Structure 1
Amino acid sequence: MRNKATMVVAATAALGLALSGCQQDNKDSAGVDSDKANEEIAGLPSVDYQKADYDEIADGGTLTYPMTEIPASLNYYHADGAHVDNNNIYGTSLGGPVKIKDDGSWEVDKNYAESVEIASEDPLVIDVKLNKDAVWEDGTPIDVEDYKAFWQTRDGKHDEYEVASTKGYEDIESIEAGDDKHNVKVTFKTPNIDWPNYIGASVPNEITEDPDTFNKDYAKKVLPSNGPFKAEKVDNKSGVITMVKNDKWWGQEPKLDKVIFKVVSQAQQAQAYANKEIDLVDIGTDGDSYETAGKREDGEIYKSQGMQWTHVTMNAEKGALKEQEVRDAVGHAINREAIAQAAIGPVEAPVTLVNNVTFMPGQDGYQDNTEGSLDFDPEAAKKILDDAGWKAGDDGIRAKDGEKLKFNIVVPADTASNAQRAEQIMKDLNEIGFKIKIETVPVAAYFADHVLNGNFDMATFTWEGTAFPISSGSNLFYPAESEQNHSKISSDAIGEKFKAATKTLDPAESKKLANEGDAEVLKLKPLIPFYPTPYVWGVKNDIMNLGPRQLETPDWTSIGFKK
C-alpha cells in the first residue's frame, strides 16, 4: 500500500468535483436531511464495478485513463506531488506490505510481505517479514535499507526533504534489520493507532538517501516501480504517461499490456469518454458530465461511497481572516445546503453535508461535530460582525479601523463547477457586507503558484481522505506550519487531542479523542466543509474489476477486458 498523505483533489482528475448547475438563491434551497442522507450514503456500495475472475479476463489490451494534467511533481511523496492523478498512476506501479479491503480494513499483501505482526505493544514494535522475491524495476531487492531511508525522509528531523507530511513517521524511533535484511523491525517511540499506514517503503534508498535526488530528480519522471507496471515514457508535450508491464514483476502477470494516462481537461473528459477517446471518466458531481457520459452505448455508470469532500479554505494570514469572529460569520453566512443540493442532485446520489473533517459519512467514527456553528443563518452572521466592530460603510462593505472585508476566491480556469461553487460563496458573503471577487487562474498555476505557496485569500477545492484518518488527516489542521495546512492557523487543543487519539491503541478511545480534536478544528474554522462526494464513474462495459471504490486497493493484475 502506498503511504498516502491526505490528498488534494484539484488540478487533478477530480478538479470538477464541485457545484454544478445554476447558482441557487438562498430562499429557494431545499433543506438537507443529513440523517436520512447518511443512511442512504451508507446504503451505497463501498465498491461498484464489474467483477470477474482472473481467467475470465482477456490477455492483452491497452486501457486509456484520463488525468487533468501531468502533476507539478511526479514524486508522489514530495510536498508538490500529493495529487489524485499521482495516486492513480502509482496504483499501477507501487505497493507495500499492507492493502485495504473493500470494508476499509487492512490485510497483508503477500506480494510484498510474508507477514506483518505486532511483536510488542510497549514499546510498539512491528515485525515485517518481506517477500524475498520483491524487487525494484531494475532488479534490486527490496530490503530494510529502503525502509530505513524512506522513513528518514519523513521522520521530522530532516527538513532538507520537501515532503508532504511527517505525520506518523515522526512517531517511529528506529527501523532495523531482524534476522536478515528482509526482516524489518519498526519500533515506535510512541504508539500509533494507524501504524499499518507507516510500515512501507515506496521509494528505493538510492533516491531517498540524497535530498537533491528526492526533491528534484523525480519532479518530471515517474518513480521506479515495485509493482506490475512501470513507466515507459512521460510525454509532457502531448500530455501522456505510458505504463507497460514490469518485466521484473514477480507476482501474478497483469492482463493488460499498457495503461495510458492521458491529459484531458476536466471540462472535456465526459465528452472524450462519450467519443470513446478514453475508457473511463470520473464524473464527480457534474450534472452535464453525468448526462453526457450516460449516452455512451457501450458504457455503464457506477456509484460507490466516497472519501472526497469539498470546502472553502481561508488563509488566516490574510487580513481580517485572522479574526475568529470573521471566520465564525463566514460559517453562518454560506448556504451549504444550496451548494450541496446543486452539486449532488444532478448525479442522482444521496445529498448530505460534511459535519466532520476527520471521518467521512459512511466511515466508522463519523459524527456531527459542528454544534450548530455552520447552520445557515445570515442574521446571526451579521450580528457576529456587528459585535466585532465590522460596520457597513456607504458602499455596503463592512470595515473596521480602515480595513475592509475584501477578499478574492481563487479558482482554476476551465472548471465551471468549481467556479460556480465560488460564485455561491461570493453571493452569500457579499449579502452580509463582504466584497468578494473571483480570481481565475490557469489550471497549472492553481496549486503551484497559489494554494501551495499561500498566494490566496480563499480557495475552494477537494480533499480526499484515507483509511487511516486519525494520524494522517490531522495534518491538514496541525501544526500551523504543516505543508498541508493551507489556512496557516491551528491550536494547542487540536494538537493535544489528535496526539492522544494517535497514541492509544484502543480503537474506540482513539475515535472518541479524534472526534474531540475534530470539534476543536470546526470551532477554529480554518475552513468551511461542504459536502461529501460519492464516487460516480462511467466505465466501458467490457472493462473488468475497475470502477469507483471508497477505500479498497485495486489489483491491477486483474484489471482488463472481458474475454
Structure 2
Amino acid sequence: MRFKKTLATLCALSFAAMAGCSSEDGSGNGGNAVTAEPPAGVSPDVAKIPMPEEGTRHDNPQARKNVKFGGSLKLAFPEIPPNLNSFSADNPSGYVGNLDSWTSPQLWDFTVGGQPKPDKDYLLSATVVSKSPEVIKYRLNPKAHWNNGDPITWKAFEATWKTQSGKSKKYNPSSTTGYERIKSVKKGKNAHEAVVTFDKPFYPYQEIFTQLENPKNLDPAFFKKGWVGHPNNGLLAGPFKYKSYSKTKVVLERNKDWWGAKPKLDTIVIRAMEDQASINAFQNGELDETRVESQDRMKQIKNMDDVQVRRGFGTQVSMYMMGQGSEVFKNTYARKAFALATDRRELTKIKFQGMNWDPEKLPGSMNVLPWMPTYKNNTPWLKHSVDKAKKLMTDHGWKLGEGGYFQKNGKTAKITYVNFGNSSSGAALARAQQAMAKQAGLKMVIDTRSTSDFSSTLNEGSYDVVAVSTETRDPFGYVLACSMYCTTSGNNSTGVGTKKIDAMAKKVTTIADPKKAMAQANKAEAAALNLVGYIPLFNSPVTYAVTKGLANYGPSGWASAEPEDIGWQKSK
C-alpha cells in the first residue's frame, strides 16, 4: 500500500527488510532491462521479474467493485513501535506512520506522478486565499469525526500547529518544518473550516497538515507519555481501529464508526518478526507479504505456489547515520575518513547480488532520488579512497600501530557499528564494512542487536555507525532539508550541523519558485553532508512477494492506495 504521511522517517536497515517501515512505491528510471539470457549470477527466476515502468503502478490496482469484502491481511514489522505518537521526536520509528495510514486522518492523496489532491474523506478543499500574507483555507468533511464521536474540526489544525511549531518547550515535535512559520490558526465560517495564516511564506503548503492530531495532544504530559504502549482508539479516526496491541502483535479491525467507503478487509494482523522468521512465516502461509530484496530470500520463495513478485522503483535511501559520542567520531575528519574508506559500489554489489539490479547512480542526496529529473549529486567528494582516508587521520596526529589500526595518545581509533536483526545479507554487509574500515586503520566492532531495539538505540544515541534508511513519501522531498539537517530538528538524530546550515536549510521553504527552492536545498544539503552526519549508500528497488490476489498493495509510484480499497481480488 501507499503510506501517505510525508515526513521523512527512519527505519532499521536490515538489508532484507520486511513490510512496514519502507517505501512501497516509486517511479523513475533506473535499473537494467530484462534480457533473454540472465546476467552472470542471476537465476532465470529472478530474470523473469518484470522491471518497473516509470509512471506505472505495480500493486495490482483494482477498482473497489473487483475487491471482495472480508478476509485478513497478515503482515510483519521488525518491531511494534512502543510509542504510537508519530508527532513526537521520541518516536523515531517509521512503523508508526504505517499504522497511522490505516487509523489516522491523512489529508492528501497523490497520483502516480506525484500530484497532490485532497482526500475527500477528511479534506474537501484547501485554497490559497491570500499570498501576502500567505493564508490557506481548509474545508473539512462535516462527516469526519474521531472514534469517540467528537467531530474533526479546526481545533485539530490548531493542535497540530501548537505541538509541532517548536514555539513551546512543553512539546518535542517530530518536525517543525512549516509549522514554525504559522502566525495563527483560527476558526473559519464554521467549525469545519480552518484558516491558517503564516508569518512568513511556506512552500509548498501541502507539506504540512498531512496528518491531523487529536486536540487531546495539547496536554503536554499526554503528548509525551499518553501514547506509550497505548493506541487510544477514541482519539483516532480512520477506516480501521486497534482491536489489540502488544509488543509482539497488533490487530487492526474494520472501524464500524468510519463514515467513508466500507473497508474491504475485516482485519490486518501485524506481528513483530526478525528477517528469518518473516520469510519462514511467509513460506508457511502465516504472512501475505514479505520483502525479497536478496538472493537468499528469493531462493526461499521461488518454488511457492500462488505467489506473485512485485517490483517497483523505491523512494528510500539507505544510509549510515553517524554518532558523535566516541572519542573518534566526535571529529568531522574521522567521520569523513570512514566515509572515504567505504566502497559503496562494493556494498551495492553485495546488497543486490543475484537480483538483476544494477543502479546506474549511487545517491548523492538524502531527499531527492537518483532517478528523479530534479536530482543533483551533493556529495561529489564521496569517492572511495583508502589513501585519502588514511591521510585525514595522519594529518590529525594519528599513527598506525598494533594490528594496523590508528592510535593517538595511547588510544585506538575504535568505533561501534550497530547492526539489527538476523539477516544474513545485513551481516554480510556489516562484515564487508568492517574489512573496509580496517584497510583505512579504523577498528570497527560489530554490535548486533534485536530489531526491537531500533527505537531505543536511536533515542539513546548508543552507536557510532548505524545502518538505516530514510523515506521520501512524495516528490517534494527537497523541502525536508531542515527536517533532515537542522540542529534544531528532532529528526536529526546525529546532532551534526551548524547554525549557518540551519539558516540555509530554513530558507528553502520561503522560495515559491520550485527550481530556485531546489537550488537552495542542494546548497544546504551539500554543506550538511560535508560534515558527514550521514553517508548515503544506495537507492533500492522495492520487491515484494505477495499472496496472489492481493489487490492495491505494493509498489505504486507516488500514488496513494486507500486503506479501505486494499483486499482480495474477486475470482474472474
TM-score by length of 1: 0.90
Q: Which of 502, 512, 534 is matched with 2:541 structurally?
A: 534
Q: What is the CA–CA distance in structure 1 between the aligned matches of 2:151 and 2:184, rounded to whole Å?
A: 21
Please say if residues 271 and 289 of structure 1, whose CA atoms lie closer than 8 Å, have aligned partners that are also in contact: no
1:51-450 aligned within 5 A: 51-205=61-215, 207-223=216-232, 224-236=235-247, 239-283=248-292, 285-351=293-359, 352-371=361-380, 373-448=381-456, 450=457
Residue 22 of structure 1 corresponds to none
Distance 1:294 1:172, change over 3 A: farther
Deviations 1:76-129 (A, max 9, x none): 222233423222222212233322221122111111122111111222111111
Q: Displacement, 1:367?
A: 1.4
Q: CA RMSD in A?
A: 2.4
Change over 3 Å in CA distance of 1:415–1:12 after alignment to 2: closer
- Report if aligned partners of 2:31, 2:357 keep a CA contact under 8 Å in 1: no
Per-residue Cα deviation, 1:362-404 (whole angstroms, up to 9, x for no partner): 3352111222x11111122222222232211244221234443
Give the direction of change, closer, same or farther, for the CA distance of 1:45–1:262 in structure 2 (3 Å limit): farther
- Indicate if the aligned counterparts of 2:129 and 2:135 stay in contact, CA closer than 8 A: yes
Question: In 2 relative to 1, CA 72–235 (structure 1 residues): closer, same or farther, beyond 3 Å?
Answer: closer
Retained in 2: the 8 A contact 1:354–1:531? Answer: yes
Q: SS at the partner of 1:345?
A: coil
Contact 2:4 2:473 in 1 (8 A): no
For 2:421 and 2:415, locate their aligned partners in 1 and report how far apart those are by CA, in whole Å.
Answer: 19
Checking the alignment, whether the CA contact within 8 Å between 1:408 and 1:436 is kept in structure 2 is: yes
Return the alpha-carbon distance in structure 2 between the equivalents of residues 235 and 451 of structure 1.
21
Count, aligned residues? 539
What is the aligned partner in structure 1 of residue 482 from structure 2?
A: 474
**Structure 1 residues 348, 474: CA separation in 2 closer, same or farther (over 3 Å shift)?**
farther
Cα separation, partners in 2 of 1:155 and 1:13, compared to 1, 3 Å: farther
Following the alignment from structure 2 to structure 1, what is the Cα–Cα distance between the partners of residues 467 and 80? 21
The corresponding residue for 2:559 is 552
Moved more, 66-75 or 125-134: 66-75
CA contact (8 A) 1:2 1:95 kept: no
Q: Work out the CA distance in 1 between the residues paired with 2:262 and 2:174.
A: 33
Q: Who is 1:30 aligned against?
A: none
Note the C-alpha offset of 1:280: 1.0
Matched-pair contact (CA < 8 Å) for 2:137–2:196? yes
Structure 1 residue 473, shift from structure 2 partner: 4.5
**Match of residue 501, structure 1, among 496, 500, 508:** 508
User: What CA distance in whole angstroms lies between the structure 2 residues aligned with 1:189 and 1:59?
Assistant: 48
Q: Which string of whole-angstrom CA distances, capped at 9 and with x for unpartnered residues, describes residues 187-228 of structure 1?
A: 1222222321213453321x2121111221211122533221
Is the Cα–Cα contact under 8 Å of residues 321 and 494 in structure 2 kept in the other structure? yes
Deviation at 1:337, TM superposition (A): 0.4
Deviation at 1:420, TM superposition (A): 2.4
- Deviation of 1:160 after TM superposition, in Å, equals 2.1
Instruction: Provide the rounded CA distance (Å) in 2 between the counterparts of 1:36 and 1:135.
Output: 41
Q: Deviations over 1:418-448 (max 9, x none)?
A: 3322222211111111111111223322330
Taking the aligned partners of 2:536 and 2:410, their CA distance within structure 1 comes to 30
1:312 CA displacement: 1.5
Over 3 Å counting, the alpha-carbon distance change for 1:52 and 1:5 in structure 2 is closer
Q: 2:498 aligns with which of 474, 491, 499?
A: 491
Aligned-residue offset at 1:141: 0.7
Q: 1:329-372 deviations in whole A, cap 9, x for unaligned?
A: 2222111000011112333334241111221123352111222x
- Aligned-pair distance for 1:541? 1.0
2:496 aligned partner, one-letter code: I
Q: Is the 8 A contact 1:13 1:68 kept in 2?
A: no
1:38 positional shift: 6.7
Alpha-carbon distance between aligned partners in 2 of 1:516 and 1:536, rounded to the nearest angstrom: 33
Q: Does the aligned pair in 1 maintain the 2:146–2:236 contact within 8 Å? A: yes
Match of 1:7 in 2: 9
Going from structure 1 to structure 2, the CA distance change for 1:3 and 1:45 (only over 3 Å counts) comes to closer
Which SS does the other structure have where 2:352 is aligned? Answer: helix
Percent of pairs with identical residues: 24
Q: 1:200 to 1:482 in 2, by over 3 A?
A: closer
Residue 47 of structure 1: which of 45, 57, 66 is its match?
57
- Letter paired with 2:320: V
Q: Which amino acid aligns with 2:102?
A: T
Asked if the contact 1:155–1:166 (Cα under 8 Å) also holds between the matched residues in 2, the reply is yes
1:556 Cα deviation from its structure 2 partner: 1.3
Separation (CA, whole Å) in 2 of partners of 1:506 and 1:222: 41
Q: Which amino acid is the alignment partner of residue 279 of structure 1?
A: D
Distance 1:265 1:36 in 2: 32
Alignment partners' CA distance in 2, 1:359 and 1:160:
33
Q: Would you say the 8 A contact 1:62–1:258 is kept in 2?
A: yes
Q: Is the 8 A contact 1:16 1:417 kept in 2?
A: no
Contact kept, 8 Å, 1:451 with 1:486, in 2: the verdict is: yes
For 1:12 and 1:435, the matched residues in 2 are separated by: 22
Contact 2:337 2:393 survives alignment (8 Å): yes
Which residue identity lines up with residue 568 of structure 2 in the other structure? Answer: F
**What is the rounded CA distance, in whole Å, between the counterparts of 2:434 and 2:156 in structure 1?**
48
Matched, 1:515 2:525: no
- Cα shift at 1:553: 2.0
CA gap of 1:497–1:46, structure 2 versus 1, over 3 A, is: farther
Matches of 1:84 and 1:549, distance apart in 2: 19
1:451 equivalent among 446, 455, 458: 458
Q: Which runs of 5+ in 2 are unaligned?
A: 20-27, 34-50
CA deviation after TM superposition for structure 1 residue 14, in Å = 6.8
TM-score, normalized by length of structure 2? 0.89
**What is the SS of the residue equivalent to 2:300?**
helix
**Structure 1 segments unaligned to the other structure (5+ residues):** 18-34
Counterpart position of 1:26: none
- Given residue 146 of structure 1, which amino acid in structure 2 is its aligned partner? A
Residues 409 and 200 of structure 1, relative CA distance in 2, 3 Å threshold: closer
Distance in 2, Cα, partners of 1:199 & 1:447: 25
Aligned residue for 1:25?
none
